[in-house]
Amino acid sequence: MNININEKDRSFKIDTDNTSYIIGIADEEAFIGHVYYGSKVEDEPLYLMRTGEPPFVPSRNNRDRGSFMDTFPCEYPGNGLGDYREGAIEIVDDGGYSAVGLTYDGYEINDGKPRLTGLPATFENESSKAKTLIIYASDKVTGLKAELMYSIFEGSDAIVRSVKIVNSSDKDIFLTKVMSASLDMDSEDFELLTLHGSWARERQIDQRPIGYGKTSVGSVKGESSHQEHPFMALVEKGVSQEIGRVYGFSFVYSGNFLAQAEKSQFDSVRVMMGINPGNFKWQLRPGESFQAPEVVMVYSDEGLGKMSRTYHDLYREHLIRSPYKDRERPILINNWEATYFDFNTDKLLAIAREAKKSGIEMLVMDDGWFGGRKDDNSSLGDWNVNEEKLPGGLKYLVDEVNKIGLKFGIWMEPEMISPDSDLYRAHPDWAIQIPGREGTRSRNQFVLDLSRPEVVEHTWNSIKNVLSSANIEYLKWDMNRQITDIGSFGLNKENMGELSHRFVLAVYELQERLIKEFPNLLLENCSGGGARFDPGMLYFGPQIWCSDDTDAIERLGIQEGTALVYPLSSMGAHVSDCPNHTVGRVTPFETRGHVALAGTFGYELDITKILEEDRAMIPEQTAMYHKYNKLVRSGDYYRVASYRENGYYDCYGVVSKDKSEALYTFVQVKGRPNYHSRLIRLSGLDPDKKYRSDESTEVFYGRTLMKAGILIPGLWGDYRSKLIHLCEV
């Protein structure tokens, strides 16, 4: 990796192992232009290819300044000065004007990577150092300054971008839009790949042409959301797992976002990603700064697979901080789908005793243990134990579970408040709300106003008191509704547009305090399933509940979309009961285990009531987890076949970094008549190594298994699965 400055040509070149990113400074007015991003190129003055030269610049041809501005490939475009494409920054200054344009002032190239105040961010480590370019820019009229930051890491093809805005004037400036990254490129007939969904069907892959105008995904829900996801990629037509150019953009943030591609009249494409400007207005007083979250860009000229593996490695090594990152997570059983709200100490202990016999290592008590909670209509915010359900309290229960030989975990929803709660009766103004409007309830609950320091402090003390009261080793942090009625009794009218971002910053503050106070706690984030499955959350906890839909077949699509960006080790995945509680499907217990193996692995069922033949299979599955988890957790992910595409079967694999071991999961979703076997061409092996499967004495070169394939014997019926484990010989 390297970052070079060509002083004579005023250009910057950022090189990763396989990619180059070039920025050029154009004209006497020092416009900051984007030159090139793609496969690695040699050190040449490429800036003239895109950023313009005399006489086609304003200093030589000011009569056509507007034409220049509307075609110039700007690295961080402003607003209202002739570029009619959407800008990356918008303001309202002291005079009420919205125009802003940033030009070049200088640069720094530093070893390492600065922390982003209050925000999750990638970081360097001892085995992989970072290097950072900061380009300084300013608007000479308003006094607004910007720091455009670009960081790279040894051994990674990712480029991480963020922006810091500083008010160097003597008057207030309001930011109404601050994107974290913008990129101008020639169109080249790209298609846009995004992840869409809904509750119980998150992160479904969608690919479509980029037409003229704007194509975007985003959220104004106060979270990254079930429906759309803070990721997008520009892909070459016909892209596959192994072939084609891909430009990926992933946003390290857990709140409102916008990801947009705009195709202009001149067949250029402007890509933007950042905080959604909807309901956003941030006051910058003189001397104050605003730090935008970061965007992780990945370019691949070897298809989607290489992009995915780049993201996986970066997030495993440079984003996740938990001590669990590089070790097995305990196999847990969660009582939610087993009991819902109908449980007591005796019931939980009965589940724990049976779970211990089968090799399960932790019991997690889900919703319903606190206040007067009998259903989802009350008590959020009242984080005191309901001793009618749990006589002797939380410590007695946890001690008894520990005596059985299991660890103990607990569910909380710290950001919420029920109208029927002691907390709401004492502090009705602590809910996010607009005076005079009927509050919008969802799941009969409101959202706490975490923009207020006193609410944050109360929430922290509630969490701390629960976790300090017993030997609790795991926390499932949930958020079961989105934010509406954007209003706060703690903010004045000038600052009301700051509420959504301040809320996210407060969540980050709470989780930072949590992992510092309880450094050995395993934190799993959740939001009604997968509505806050984003890089920001992975900075605090190593895993996120992937979806409330635990049906093995539905999970194939959900986990495929998730694994496009995120490592398998981050995906909360469980074996659940059948008929499945979300879709009513019945699938073999073995298949449920195989699909859940591509994740953290656990159980979501009443082990005391399931079929004996299923219960007898659990010790085999827990042994399977221990056998393969290191490989699943740390290996390279390869998508071999997609049920989403072919309609019949799914296949994916994990290959160790040294190519000595591989595990492939094959799921036959639909059986076919008169169809006895299937040939699968594997991916990711070393062509020159020899491999043998656990079920055979035959030895094959990796080249043979990838080119000629391996035969999957006929599996009788729908929803059948098979693991193929290969080791080097």
Q: Which residue has the tokens 């006589």?
A: 391
Statement to judge: residues 303 and 449 lie in one domain: no
Supply the range of the domain harboring residue 661. Answer: 641-728
The pLDDT of 73-91, averaged and rounded, is 97
Question: How are beta strands 690-693 and 720-728 bridged, if at all?
Answer: antiparallel
Statement to judge: residues 528 and 556 lie in one domain: yes
> Is pLDDT of 43 > 80?
no
Statement to judge: residues 105 and 48 lie in one domain: yes
Question: How confident is the model over 314-365, as pLDDT tens digits?
Answer: 999 999 999 999 999 999 999 999 999 999 999 999 999 999 999 999 999 9
Read off the pLDDT band of 673 (50, 70, 90). confident
Structure confidence at residue 229 (pLDDT): 98
**Which residue, of 589, 612, 634, is where some domain finishes?**
634
CB 351 within 8 A of CB 577: no
Structure confidence at residue 411 (pLDDT): 98
Read off the pLDDT band of 675 (50, 70, 90). confident
CATH number at residue 667: 2.60.40.1180
On whether residue 326 sits in a domain, the answer given is no
> Is pLDDT of 552 > 90?
yes
**Which residue, of 613, 634, 655, is where some domain finishes?**
634
> Is pLDDT of 48 > 80?
no
Mean pLDDT of the chain: 96
Structure confidence at residue 341 (pLDDT): 97
The pLDDT of 639-668, averaged and rounded, is 97
On whether residue 177 sits in a domain, the answer given is yes
CB 560 within 8 A of CB 649: no
Torsions phi, psi for 504 (to 5 deg): -65, -40
Statement to judge: residues 658 and 626 lie in one domain: no
On whether residue 426 sits in a domain, the answer given is yes
Closest listed residue to residue 175, CA positions, set 115, 91, 299, 102: 91
Structure confidence at residue 51 (pLDDT): 60
Read off the pLDDT band of 60 (50, 70, 90). confident
Work out the number of other CB atoms within 10 angstroms of the CB of residue 619. Answer: 13
- In which element (H, E) is residue 627 found? helix 618-634
**Which residue, of 596, 618, 634, is where some domain finishes?**
634
Statement to judge: residues 661 and 682 lie in one domain: yes
Question: How confident is the model over 588-611, as pLDDT tens digits?
Answer: 999 999 999 999 999 999 999 999
CB 550 within 8 A of CB 604: yes
Structure confidence at residue 59 (pLDDT): 86
The pLDDT of 215-229, averaged and rounded, is 97
On whether residue 325 sits in a domain, the answer given is no
On whether residue 269 sits in a domain, the answer given is yes
Statement to judge: residues 278 and 336 lie in one domain: no
Read off the pLDDT band of 8 (50, 70, 90). confident
206 is catalytic: no
On whether residue 617 sits in a domain, the answer given is yes
Q: Which of 313, 367, 382, 478 is catalytic?
A: 478
Statement to judge: residues 193 and 338 lie in one domain: no
Read off the pLDDT band of 45 (50, 70, 90). low
Question: How confident is the model over 94-149, as pLDDT tens digits?
Answer: 999 999 999 999 999 999 999 999 999 999 998 899 999 999 999 999 999 999 99
Statement to judge: residues 153 and 79 lie in one domain: yes
> Is pLDDT of 49 > 60?
no
One-letter identity of residue 609? K
Q: Which of 548, 551, 614, 636 is catalytic?
A: 548
- The tokens describing 563, both together, are 């694994």
CATH number at residue 52: 2.70.98.60
Statement to judge: residues 569 and 511 lie in one domain: yes
CB 384 within 8 A of CB 425: no
Read off the pLDDT band of 264 (50, 70, 90). very high
Question: How confident is the model over 373-424, as pLDDT tens digits?
Answer: 999 999 999 999 999 999 999 999 999 999 999 999 999 999 999 999 999 9
> Is pLDDT of 55 > 90?
no
3-state SS, 404-469, equals HCCEEEEEECCCEECCCCHHHHHCHHHECCCCCCCCCCECCEEEECCCCHHHHHHHHHHHHHHHHC
Helices (H), 289-434: 303-318, 336-339, 345-357, 393-404, 422-426
CATH number at residue 412: 3.20.20.70
Statement to judge: residues 53 and 37 lie in one domain: yes
The C-alpha atoms of residue 600 and residue 331 are separated, in whole angstroms, by 8
Structure confidence at residue 50 (pLDDT): 61
The pLDDT of 626-647, averaged and rounded, is 97
On whether residue 327 sits in a domain, the answer given is no
CB 296 within 8 A of CB 252: yes
Cβ-based neighbours of 199, under 8 Å, separated by 6 or more:
226, 528, 529, 531, 548
Statement to judge: residues 645 and 623 lie in one domain: no
Q: How far is CA 113 from the centre of its chain?
A: 21
Statement to judge: residues 92 and 130 lie in one domain: yes
Read off the pLDDT band of 159 (50, 70, 90). very high
Q: Could you give the 3-state DSSP secondary structure of residue 393?
A: helix
The pLDDT of 309-316, averaged and rounded, is 98
Structure confidence at residue 46 (pLDDT): 60
- The tokens describing 233, both together, are 């990629």
Structure confidence at residue 44 (pLDDT): 64
Number of domains in the chain: 3
> Is pLDDT of 256 > 90?
yes
The pLDDT of 622-641, averaged and rounded, is 98
On whether residue 301 sits in a domain, the answer given is yes
> Model-level pTM?
0.97
Question: How confident is the model over 467-493, as pLDDT tens digits?
Answer: 999 999 999 999 999 999 999 999 999
650 is catalytic: no
Structure confidence at residue 674 (pLDDT): 76
